Amino acid sequence: MDYETTVGLEVHAQLLTKSKMFCRCSADYADAAPNTHVCPVCLGMPGVLPVINQRAVEYVVMTALALNCTIPEYCKFDRKNYPYPDLMKGYQISQYDAPLGVRGRLDIEVEGQKKRIGITRVHLEEDVAKLTHRSIPGEGSYSLVDVNRAGVPLMEVVSEPDMHSPEEARQYLMKLRTILQFLGVSSGNMEEGSFRCDANISIRPFGSTDSGVKVEVKNMNSFRAVYHALEYEEQRQRRVIEERGRLVQETRGWVEEGGVTVSQRSKEYAHDYRYFPEPDLPPITCSRQWVEEIRSRLPELPDARQDRLMAQYGLSHYDASLLTTSKAMADYSEACVKLNAEVQVEKRAKAVSNWISGEFTRLLHATDIQISDSKVSPEHLVEMLDLIDEGTLSGAAAKTVFEEMFHSGKRAKEIIAEEGLTQISDAEEMKEIVARVVAANAQAVADFKKGKEAALTFLVGQVMRQTKGRANPTVVNKLLKEKLEESA
C-alpha cells in the first residue's frame, strides 16, 4: 500500500538581541564561563519582575511580516507552568493564545516545484537554562545548571502540517533559516543550538481522510538529522502499520549514532501546562502604524534577492538560488561583481557564482568557516578572476592558487610568483612537454589511433599534470592533436 506522509515543524530560534528577554544581562553567552551572564531576574530570585525587551518584540514582528503573517493588535504573554530544574521560575514566560504573528506562509521549492507551506503562528518566549548531566562510576549521577542561556529571547515558528516528505521539511527549514539570516534576527546555527527544530509526523494510506497518529520527533541537531529522522520515522510507522501493530501518539528522540528514533514519553504523561496570562506584564498593543513602520524597514528577502540577481546579473535560476541560500554569500558575490566595472557584468557574475558555489563552498564546509569570516576577501577573489581573464593564470592552476589563498590569506599574485604557476604560453616549451607525454604513453596513443576519443582526454590530463595545471587546456588539446596526427 502507498502511504502519504504529513509533517509539521516547530522551530525555535534564539534572537540576536544584545540583552536577554526580560533583564539586562547580555544574551551573547557563547564563550562565557557558566553562570556569568546572570542576575536576580534571570535567576528567578524571589521578588524579581520581568521587563519586555522591545527589540525582541520587533524582531518577531519582522519575522512574522516576512512570513506574510497577520500581526494582531492585541498580543500578550502567558505563563507556561511545568517544574524542571532548567526553568528558573518554575514557569516559562511564553505566548499561548495571543501570539505576535498568525496565519502566514512560506514558499519553498522542491525538485523544481514551488510549494506553499502555511505558518500557523510566530511567538516570543524565553529560553531555559542548560543542564549537563554527569555521572561518576560508583557514586551516581548529578546535573550541572548553567543559567547563561536562561532568559535569552526565543522565537517559535510553527508551521501547518503542509509538508509531505523529509525533503520538503528540509527545504522549509533551510528557507526559514535563510529568511531569519537575511532579517538579521537569528544566527540560525543548528549545531550550536540557536536554531532548533521539533517535527510532528504522521502517515496514512493515500486517499485516506483519517489523519493518522502524530509522533513528535526531537533531538535533531542538523538539517541532515531532520531529514534522516523523518525518513526513519516514515519507514518505522509504515512497518508498524503493516505488521498490524498499534501506533501510539508519543514523543520520540532522534539518536544520531544509531540512526533511529527512540520513544521518550507517551501522550498519557503529557504535561498540563496550566497556561494563564502573565500578570507581571501588560498586554502588547501592536498599533497599525508601528507594524507598517516595521514592514517598511524590512530588508530585501531571499526570494526578492534571487529575482534581482537573475534580472540584474543575468544569473540562472539555479545559480541565483544557490547564492541566496545565505545572506553572507549573496552579499559576498554582489560585492565581487561590483568590484571590477570593466569586465562584462554577466560573464563576471557567472564566474563569481561558479567559484562561490563550487570550490569556495567546498573549502568553507571542509574547514567549517563562514564566508564572512574567510581570509579570501571579495577583492582577493576578483584579483584572481582578473588574472584568469588576462591569461596569466589557467583555470586548472587557479584551483591550487585559490586553495592556497583560502588557507594562507595570501593574494593570488604572491602565490603565483612563489610557486611559478604562471600559465605556460611559450609554444616551444609546451611542444616539448607534449612530445614527452606522447612518447611515454604508447598504449594511449595506440588507443587513440584505434578511434578511442577517451584516450585524448587522458593524454591532456597527463600534460596538465606535468605542468601542474599551468598549461592552457585548449592549447594542449590543439598541440596534442597535431603531434598525434604528425606521428601517424
Closest separation in Å from C-beta 130 to other proteins: 14
Verify binding: residue 35, other proteins, rule CB under 8 A. Answer: no
The CB-of-120 to other proteins minimum distance in angstroms stands at: 20
| CB neighbour burial string for 179-189, b if at least 16 within 10 angstroms, e if fewer | bbbbbebbbbe
Cβ 279 to other proteins, closest distance in Å? 4
Of residues 73-132, those binding other proteins (CB under 8 A): 79, 81, 83, 85, 88-91
**CB of residue 75 to other proteins, shortest distance in Å:** 14
What is the rounded distance in angstroms from the CA atom of residue 282 to the CA atom of residue 382? 54
CA Rg value for the chain: 29
CB neighbour class for 329 (10 Å; exposed up to 12, middle 13-18, buried from 19): buried
Task: Catalogue the E-assigned strands of 68-194.
Answer: 74-75, 78-81, 91-94, 101-110, 113-126, 130-136, 140-146, 153-159
- Distance in angstroms between the alpha carbons of the first and the last residue of the chain: 64
Q: Check: CB of residue 105 under 8 Å from CB of residue 119.
A: yes
CB of 48 to other proteins, least distance (A): 7
Cα diameter, the chain: 96
Size, binding site for other proteins by CB under 8 A: 30
Nearer to other proteins, 92 or 467 (CB): 92
Binding window for other proteins (CB under 8 A); candidates: 137-145, 176-184, 354-362, 425-433: 137-145
Q: Which residues, 390 to 419, sit near other proteins by CB under 8 A?
A: none
Beta bridge partners of 110: 113
Q: Name the residue nearer to other proteins (CB basis): 53 or 159.
A: 53
CB of 52 to other proteins, least distance (A): 7
Reported as type and span, the H/E element at residue 171 is helix 166-183
Neighbours of 145 (CB within 10 A): 15
Please report whether residue 43 would count as binding other proteins according to CB under 8 A.
Answer: yes
18 near other proteins (CB under 8 A): no
Q: Which is nearer to other proteins, 52 or 298 (CB)?
A: 52
Q: Tell me how far apart the alpha carbons of residues 6 and 203 are, in angstroms, rounded to a whole number.
A: 6
CA distance 161 to 4: 12
Of the two residues 8 and 50, which places its CB atom closer to other proteins in the complex? 50
Site membership for other proteins, residue 27 (CB under 8 A): no
Identify the residue among 30, 32, 49, 262 touching other proteins (CB under 8 A). 49
d(CA 275, CA 79): 5
Segment interacting with other proteins (CB under 8 A) among 41-49, 61-69, 187-195, 441-449: 41-49
Instruction: Quote the least distance from Cβ 218 to other proteins, whole Å.
Output: 20
- Between helices 54-66 and 288-296, what is the axis angle to 10°? 70
CB of 160 to other proteins, least distance (A): 24
Binding mask 262-291 for other proteins (x = CB under 8 A): ----------x-xxx--xxxx---------
48 in contact with other proteins (CB under 8 A): yes
From candidates 51, 174, 291, 301, binder to other proteins by CB under 8 A: 51
Least distance to other proteins, CB of residue 375, Å: 45
Kindly give, in sequence order, each residue whose CB lies less than 8 Å from that of residue 441, ignoring residues fewer than 6 positions away: 458, 459, 462
In one-letter notation, the amino acid at residue 113 is: Q
Counting Cβ atoms within 10 Å, is residue 447 exposed (0-12), middle (13-18) or buried (19+)? middle
Kindly tell me which residue out of 70, 132, 135, 143 binds other proteins, with binding defined by CB under 8 A.
143
Contacts with other proteins by CB under 8 A lie at: 40, 43-52, 79, 81, 83, 85, 88-91, 140, 143, 145, 272, 274-276, 279-282
